Amino acid sequence: MLRRYAGFMSLFALGAALVMIFNGPATAKGQKKKKEPNREIHQDQRRLNELERDQSRLNQQIEHLEKSLPSARDSLKKSQDELHTHDGKLDKVRDAYDAAKLKVKQSTEQLAAIVKQVEDSQPSTSPFAQAKAAYLAAKEAYDQAVDRVANSPNYQAAYQQATAADDRATLLPAVRKKWIDENPDVAQAQGKAAAAKAIYERLLSELLHKSPQWVQANDVLEQAKKAESEREKELRSVSAKVAALKKSVEQMQADVKKKDASLERDRSELRKTSKKIDALRDEIRRDRNRNR
């Protein structure tokens, strides 16, 4: 009886051992299969976390751009309106400056006509007429003295040599000074012409200041010159303002354009990221269901 029982137990133990031998690899293989899906799920989850962080970052960027763009567009609109206003002002100021220049030209011509009238009205025997004739004669003598030197072979040779040189901008004035300005005959004639001119201009000034027409015309010219100077100053100021506004508007336009492009890019990237997140969440859900 005991021998039968012992034999039965030995047979049972042998069977159990065989079962373990055959089932062992299968069990290990099953555990390996379970581990691989879990690893994939963990990898997908990390990827999902990264995408969600990207999504959060994009949402913040979009929110910031959506808040800042209206203000940027409003500032741009105000600057454009201001530029338009100053453009109109610039046109008016430019017209005023042109009118002031024309007034100066007309006043100058009118004054010159009065001067000529005063000069022509003087008798040929008057001190003024004699002083004018002396000045014109002295001036003619000076011009002839200059021409004699300028046409001389020595001056022509020096002039041609200076003209052909690389530093002619420096040499030409030096040639003029040496051969003409410092020439004794030219210098003497120039001195006589200057002295005669001073007498002529003094006598002419005395005559003009006695003429009510000239005094009035001269006053008109001075006022016209003053107005022209003021209009020119205003034109420069408004022109500078318009230039600054144009530069500012261009910078604002570039900034708004850049922000618009960034907003569109971020929105597009957000849509792509959201689709990736939804797809990855579905994949993780399916993997978890299969792994149960």
pLDDT of 258-279, one tens digit each?
Answer: 999 999 999 999 999 999 999 9
**38 CB-near residues (< 8 Å, 6+ apart):** 291
- 20-24, 50-54, 106-110, 190-194: which has the minimum mean pLDDT? 20-24
3-state secondary structure of 214: helix
Give the integer Cα–Cα distance in Å for 54 and 261.
19
Residue 70 predicted with pLDDT over 60: yes
pLDDT of residue 37: 59
Average pLDDT on 114-131 reads: 95
pLDDT of residue 102: 98
3-state secondary structure of 275: helix
pLDDT of residue 287: 82
pLDDT of residue 290: 82
- 33-42, 53-62, 168-177: which has the minimum mean pLDDT? 33-42
To the nearest 10 degrees (0 to 180), the angle between helices 184-209 and 127-150 is: 150
Average pLDDT on 9-18 reads: 49
Average pLDDT on 158-178 reads: 93
**216 CB-near residues (< 8 Å, 6+ apart):** none
Residue 107 predicted with pLDDT over 50: yes
Residue 7 predicted with pLDDT over 80: no
Give the integer Cα–Cα distance in Å for 212 and 217.
9
Contacts 24+ apart (CB under 8 A), 204-208: 204/115, 204/118, 204/119, 204/128, 204/132, 207/118, 207/119, 207/122, 207/128, 208/114, 208/115, 208/118
Evaluated on CA atoms 44, 49, 55, 61, the torsion sign reads negative
Give the integer Cα–Cα distance in Å for 160 and 289.
103
- 44-48, 157-161, 169-173, 198-202: which has the minimum mean pLDDT? 44-48
Residue 269: both structure tokens together: 């990237």
The model's confidence at residue 36, banded by pLDDT at 50, 70 and 90, is: low
pTM: 0.65
Give the integer Cα–Cα distance in Å for 108 and 68.
59
**47 CB-near residues (< 8 Å, 6+ apart):** 280
Complete DSSP assignment for 6-40: HHHHHHHHHHHHHHHHHHHHHHHHHHHHHHHHHHH
Rounded mean pLDDT of the chain? 88
The model's confidence at residue 42, banded by pLDDT at 50, 70 and 90, is: confident
Residue 55 predicted with pLDDT over 80: yes
- 1-15, 45-59, 81-95, 255-269: which has the minimum mean pLDDT? 1-15
Residue 30 predicted with pLDDT over 80: no
